[in-house]
Amino acid sequence: MSHYRILPERSQVYIDARSSVHPIHSSTDGLEGFVELELDGDGAVDLAVKPTGQLSFAVSKLASGNRMEDRELQKRLDSRRYPTIKGVLEQMEPAGAPGSYKVSGEITLKGVTRPHEDLMEIRAVDDSTISLSGKSRFDIREFGMEPPRVLILKVEPEVDVRVEIIAEKVS
């Protein structure tokens, strides 16, 4: 089994929400964690060896560029009490197209852990680097978080999250 370390400076998470006034875009780099998996000769994940992984990122790094929105987001996420959002990879299976996999595991936000599954693209960049990318939609109410309201701004409860991860094999 190969152990790949997520490169924080090359990995990003993007969060898009809708509001009554305008779209809200937040992003951060600094994802940390690892993925353990084996690739076959064609660069596909060898699912005979069970892949595992974990990732996390600091809530404090999320930024939209609007200080008022960012402050409200930090407050709603209770970033002092719950400083990180975490994900754990538990299962992976082929999803049809080459390099496409249905991944499942758990997401922890504000101390609430929920199961989640969605599609992810995984490919070898070179002999020691892999790329993982995917997107999901989450209803933040499932994690005990009420959508923010700031003056006339009302945020919808569903948010789209996209990750672009680069991980390097640890020898």
Give the CATH superfamily of 2-169. Lipid/polyisoprenoid-binding, YceI-like (2.40.128.110)
Q: What is the CA angle 23-27-32, rounded to 5? A: 155
Is a pLDDT exceeding 80 seen at residue 149? Answer: no
Per-residue pLDDT reduced to its tens digit, 47-94: 999 999 999 999 988 888 888 878 888 888 888 999 999 999 999 999
Q: Which residue's structure tokens are 């809708």?
A: 18
Q: Which helix (H) or strand (E) holds 32?
A: strand 32-37
Decide which of 62 and 7 is more confident: 7
Q: What is the pTM of this model?
A: 0.91
Q: Report helix, strand or coil for 70.
A: helix
Q: Mapped to the 3 state alphabet, what secondary structure does 83-150 carry?
A: CEEEEEEEEEEECCCCCEEEEEEEEEECCEEEEEEEEEEEEEEECCEEEEEEEEEEEHHHHCCCCCEE
For the chain, domain boundaries: 2-169
pLDDT at res. 150 = 65
Residue 155 has pLDDT above 90, yes or no: no
Name the average pLDDT for the chain.
92
Report yes or no: 29 and 45 within 8 Å, Cβ to Cβ: no
| Phi, then psi, of 66 in degrees rounded to 5 | -115, 110
Coil, helix or strand at residue 161: strand
CA distance 132 to 130: 7
- Of 127 and 54, the structure prediction assigns the larger pLDDT to 54
Share of the chain above pLDDT 70, in %: 99
